[in-house]
A and B are shown apart, each in its own frame.
Chain A
Amino acid sequence: MGLPGALDDLKVIDFGTLFSGPYCARLLGDLGAEVIKIEEPLTGDPARRMEPFPHDSPGAEQSGFFLYSNFNKLGVTLNPRTATGRAMFVELIRQADILVTNRPPAEMEALGLDYPRLQQVNSRLIVTSVTPFGSYGPRRDWRGDDLVSFSAGGLTYLTPYSAEDPEKDRPLRAAGRQAHFLAGSMAAAATMSAVLMRWTTGKGQLVDVSQQEVILSMRSPAVTVFDPGKPTARIGPPSGGAVGLVRCADGYVCFVTMQESEWQSLLEVMGNPEWLSSPLFKARAERAKHWDACLRMVEEWTTRRTKEQVRALCQSKRVPCEQVNSPEDIVNYKHLWERGFFQEWEQPAAGKVTTPGRPFVMSGTPWRFQRPAPLLGQHNEEVFCKRLGYSRTDLVKLTEARII
């Protein structure tokens, strides 16, 4: 093992389900924190029933989605709606540095596990709450999934930017569940800000992350430069005359010539075609006005080459350009394997699993894959017996009572 993890002194309780909360806790675990995931007895985290499954073979212990969001954790089952279960939860909190939850604020209050009450148990405790609209304010109890968060935060209105007619082409979220994952990443950063502050104050605090604001914060200048006279809906990328999504022989590439020197280099790559000396395209301002026509001309050149060729030629002259990659393209991209972006491991139910791995590389405190996602209740004995002092016969009774 050798090098330490940056967070190997921290103990985290993951009392979340599905998306943002569990992913936040995993990111802390990736850097060495000890994470105990608490799941509902018998049913577990609903994420266990989410696709993809290996070879399309569903099962609670092999959801790819669950395995990705929950590695580097110990897993226990516990029902905090029972008096005994709640007391055990509080015992775990007493030993913890951080509680991560993405449950609705009203549910945490009903359970008696809201921040003011937990703070009395452990004044150093940091509680990270990540919810669709934040844990306070008039809409704190509103619900939201990924699509609702993207829409509430202002991004759906702009997507896809290549809509032909905003009146006909309905607004879209970005693919996948990126609002949830980003909220988890933001919550991990937010948690660290409270950890750093605790070095000075010695006290914990409530960390509040709203998914609506997470999405809005991706566009920080948009609020400042907002011009009520200017339409923004799904009608082209923000930097007119710079972003070129163009067809190739086998797909698409996207180049971005933000600076004039980059446009000049692109011309050079294309062999300085004659049409570009037209006054329509020569000066940047004119070019921006005739950008679509300009891109169709560029396609005369790109469609005679593969996306890989176009990208390589552009990058050789330092023209910012990337392939429009499909999942298949990404998984087979050699550079990513050489850098160790993908993580491969064995899991008893799922077999060999390949997922995206670390978001960054740290030289002194490496990101580490330490253990696969827990089976449901896998660490009940390790946590409840070794940390809380219950006996194995206690575990039997607690199981029969459906507390664990």
Chain B
Amino acid sequence: MNQSQDQICDVLRSGHSACPGCGVAIGMRMVLSALGNRAVVVLVPSCVSVIAGMYPYSALNVPIHHAPFEAAAAAASGIVNAFKMLGKEDIPILSFAGDGGTFDIGLQSLSGAADRNENFIYVCMDNEAYMNTGIQVSSATPQYAWTGTTPLGKPRRKKNIMDIMAAHSIPYAATASIGFPDDLTNKIQKAKEIRGTRFLHVLSPCNTGWKLPEDLSPKIARLSVETNVFPLFEIEEEGRSYVINYPSKGLPVEKYLMIQGRYKHLTSQQIKEIQLETDYNWTMLQKKAAK
């Protein structure tokens, strides 16, 4: 990692209320330590806001705004413009939302803010379901994954949020993973230097919802990249330039899926389908990156 342990602990402090081994808490810590504590953070109701703690305490050593669920991007935009008028334009604003707050209920305000190219960093901590309310399906839940509201597995595929963001012609969008801390840190630091709407999609495994042992979040996050289920890439030049940051290891998806209790019901046919889908997505991404 690029930064010392001291600096890291300074921004997300001990005493936070995440579950043991939580991938979101690990991701928040990486994002915040890369951002530094001279920043303002917007949270919306999610695991992130729970992790931040209860009044009068705060686990984050930055000013926090706990905004309405579907309005992370709108609330951040408001602060950005107020800061512009108050001569505080140099203070970065970063918005955290979960996959529900990004892919589903918050998509409209995110789209509006991205369309206006509001000057803030938006980080989606994707744990692939409504984990804070106890594991219900979202449009970020992958196909066939078990959730409390898809007991037979989700019938539809995961929504492609990166292409949606690319279609907004924003200056920077990237995927990142808690399994690749240096890559994640570099992306936050890079995003910090860019003006306009910057979007990071961070896969943050949820031990509880994915039915994983407590010590496996970083490992499963690495496997998601190494199996091409969640490739690491950046989109620049207003959505026109794709760059892949981690070459394919080509590990079979089965290696990623079968550690997770949420996939334990999969048939061999379903695993095959997920492999085909993953291969197709990887090929499409390579084509975009080759342009």
Chains A and B bind each other: no
